[in-house]
Chains A and B, each alone.
Chain A
Amino acid sequence: MSLRLALCGCSQALQWSDCLQRLDGVSVTTVADADPAVAEAAAPQFGTASRVASCEQLLSTAGDNWDALVISGELAGSAEVTQNALAAGKPVLLENPPQETTTLTTLDAVAADSQVSLMVGGSLRYAPALSTVQQSVASGQIGAPGLLRAHRWVPAADITVEASLENGLLLDEVDLALWLFGQLPNHVLTSSSMAPGTDPGCVQIHLGFPDNGMALLDWSALVQGAGYFSLSLIGSQGAAYADDHHNTQLLFQGGAPAGLNTTGGTCGRLGQLREFIAAIAEARTPGCTISDACAAAQVHQAACDSLNTGQAFRWTGEAYQSCN
């Protein structure tokens, strides 16, 4: 299959280029970025790729030059760019969807009308370790999921000023929980070591699912050092453990040894891209849809409301409401 991609958002062009080396017949032919200089620098990494002045001009000035659109990373105005591409019959991979459920619903409707594929990037779903965990569930190896535990610790240096629960701090983890349990939680409680509206510090979301499943998802800022991720999923017939602690190597340079993680390289992004391409080729719904993003956003909003009110929230069948 031959597929020409437009890449909108070029700050991680090197990673995309690396992925494309592993795919036959797929190329980036057009690039655009909100910062023209970034697009200019990225274009040579894709050989003869042309660049356009802005993401909004991808269709108007180079629409014949590409078949599908990849919107990489955070991008202001991504919803409009996505909507225009869908309306023109171009499949879209939207890595970071907006959180507003009304916007997501609109995009879903446009994709349905146009009968083209709209895939949402779930950055955790395609991480090698976590796709392996999910396969252990999907294959029935570990039985019915019962308890999901995830810790994510982020170095302070990597935390942007916008990082907060309101801005989707644990959205990826919530999406992961919904994916693994295959349903919406009926209970949501959020706790934080800090007051709402201040620095994130430590935040944890506690979910309860209708079939007695449960999840605890926490996020913490690390004063220094590298990040850390740990996940365990306890099923009725077994368990899966994806744990940086287990995968830590030791570096001796005097004093106590430093722990080094052996990472999966670009495998996560590659898996995401492979799924997007396969969904187009097979004319099927991609593995992660706008409906999934909508569900995660809804639960995450309940988590925000829980933190702000200090109350547990319950699913009524239509919305999340305070238990009190």
Chain B
Amino acid sequence: MGNGESKKRFRAAVLSVVKHAYVPNGVAAHPRFELAVVADDADQPDWVHQRNEAFAYQHNIPYVRDVAQALTDYDVDLAVISSEAERHCDLGVRAAAAGLHVILDKPLSTQLSECDRLVAEVDERGVKSLLWNRNYLPALVQARELVQSGTLGQLQAIHVDFYFAKDAGPPRGSRGPDDPPINWLESLIAAHVDGSDGGVGNKPMGELEIEGIYPLAYIRMLSGVEVEKVFARTAAHFHQRNVDNQVDDLATVTLQMQGGLIGSLCIGRIGAASHPDIGEIKLHLVGSEGSLVISEARPEVAVYYRGQDRQEFPHRRIAGENDFLLMENFAQAIDHNGPTILDVRGGRQIAATVAAALESGQSGQLVRVS
């Protein structure tokens, strides 16, 4: 450990790690954090236990099929939760009730009532919380500095495009008349092999619900205000899995925010053919003194070569320190009893914005964010 060697080292319990493991891996990469144990409830299905065990084996730590035991017997300071989204909050509540700080993968939950339960528990116990996000990507750090320095003056509008140019199973219209609809959970379990299983769980979720936290966290961080009303259009435009499970893979959201600020979000899992890299992710900010166009991917380096795999992104992002900076922020919050970049209260508001957008997508009306 470098200059942090005199500071406390935090021990983490990983509570379920059933999807891409970037959250616990991001925690473990920071010198002030170490993974002590993986745990889950005994009554979870076999595929859950298998993934938990594999992760524990990879990190050379024990796997315990008893969450309560893991929280008390391994001298841990925090819980890192990367379960199916519908279990995030319940695991978070149990960890917070045991006095542990909590870090959760996105989305916070599939139900607002669960978010509220977690917010209440975290508040009551006085523990720190972090909803994993991308707010420390270099371009976002730069945007925040420009906003906070007053370079743009008073913010008037903020627009985010957030497209992932990835496929998600067979394309829309590919199901034959006698084929059964695609089972959400089975399909997402199978998607683990390429890491596109962020929506794994029993409850189907659209792109807005799975990935919306990222752009909405940008807007929240940069604007510093709450969303009051939303209007949204949603569609299953690309993928048969989304059609069969009646969830979106493309959405547009108008955001009417406090203080007359307006915003918008375009989001979609738009297919690998739609962009040479991970996708077009951009922010447009309009202020009273200046305006800003930011590409989230930059800085990047372009590498092309003969025989290049089509799956490989030729533009490689560089200088990314998002994981380190998130965990540094979390450590500082614990050390100094300060705020984190995105706590569960902020995550709850984002979940409420998404819920209102989904309702608007159905009703065609402006919907107030609860």
Which A residues are closer than 8 A to B by beta carbons?
A: 142, 144, 146-147, 149, 151, 153, 186-187, 189, 191-195, 201-202, 204, 206, 208, 212-216, 218, 220, 222-223, 228, 230, 232, 234-239, 241, 245, 310-312, 314, 323-324
Contacts and interface: CB of A to CB of B under 8 A. Distances in A.
A208 B286 contact: no
A234 B156 CA distance: 26
B147 to A, nearest CB: 15
A149 B262 CA distance: 16
A218 B159 contact: yes
A310 B295 CA distance: 32
A186 B289 CA distance: 36
19 contacts: A144-B237, A146-B250, A146-B270, A147-B250, A147-B252, A192-B262, A193-B156, A212-B233, A212-B235, A214-B250, A215-B252, A220-B291, A228-B293, A230-B293, A239-B274, A245-B295, A312-B364, A312-B366, A323-B363
B366 A311 contact: yes
Nearest to B287: A223
B116 interface: no
Interface residues of chain A: helix, strand, loop or mixed (majority): strand
A194 B154 CA distance: 13
B364 A220 contact: no
Contacts of B270: 146, 234, 239
A191 B286 contact: no
Contacts of B337: none
A16 B231 CA distance: 43
Contacts, number: 134
Contacts of A144: 237
Contacts of A223: 153, 288-291
A189 B295 contact: no
A202 B266 contact: no
Most buried by A among B271, B273, B286, B290: B286
Nearest to B259: A193
A245 B260 contact: no
Nearest to A186: B364
Contacts of B366: 189, 310-312, 323
Interface in B241-294: 250-252, 254, 256, 260-262, 264, 266, 268, 270-271, 273-275, 280, 282, 284, 286, 288-291, 293
Interface of B: 153, 156-157, 159, 161, 163, 165, 171-172, 231, 233, 235-238, 250-252, 254, 256, 260-262, 264, 266, 268, 270-271, 273-275, 280, 282, 284, 286, 288-291, 293, 295, 363-366
Contact of A202 (B157, B236, B251): B157
Contact of B274 (A187, A193, A228, A234): A234
Given A189-B366, A228-B291, A323-B366, 11 more contacts: A146-B235, A201-B156, A208-B233, A212-B237, A223-B290, A228-B293, A234-B266, A234-B274, A236-B171, A238-B274, A324-B365
Contact of B254 (A149, A201, A216, A237): A216
Most buried by B among A153, A195, A314: A153
A236 B240 CA distance: 12
Contacts of A149: 161, 252, 266
A146 B268 contact: yes
Contact of A237 (B153, B256, B273): B273
Contacts of B271: 236-238
Contacts of B261: 193
Given A153-B291, A222-B291, A189 B235 contact: no
Contact of B156 (A202, A206, A311): A202
A200 to B, nearest CB: 11
A208 B273 contact: no
A241 B275 CA distance: 9
A232 B280 contact: yes
B304 to A, nearest CB: 18
Contacts of B165: 239
A147 B293 CA distance: 20
Contact of B235 (A192, A214, A216, A222): A214
Nearest to B265: A216
A237 to B, nearest CB: 6
B143 to A, nearest CB: 14
Nearest to A211: B235
B293 A236 contact: no
B334 to A, nearest CB: 38
A206 to B, nearest CB: 5
A186 B291 CA distance: 32
Given A206-B233, A206-B264, A232 B252 contact: no
Most buried by A among B153, B270, B363: B270
B161 A232 contact: yes
Closest 5 CB pairs of A and B: A212-B235, A214-B233, A202-B157, A239-B274, A208-B233
Contacts of B289: 223
A314 B252 contact: no
Nearest to A189: B231
B157 A218 contact: yes
B254 A204 contact: yes
Contact of B280 (A206, A241, A314): A241
A312 B171 CA distance: 32
A228 B284 CA distance: 11
A142 B275 CA distance: 11
Contact of A236 (B157, B172, B282): B172
B293 to A, nearest CB: 5
Contacts of A189: 231, 254, 366
Nearest to B251: A214
Given A146-B237, A193-B260, A312-B365, A245 B282 contact: yes
A206 B266 CA distance: 11
Contacts of A245: 282, 293, 295
B225 to A, nearest CB: 12
Nearest to A248: B293
B239 to A, nearest CB: 10
B362 to A, nearest CB: 12
B163 A234 contact: yes
Contacts of A222: 286, 291
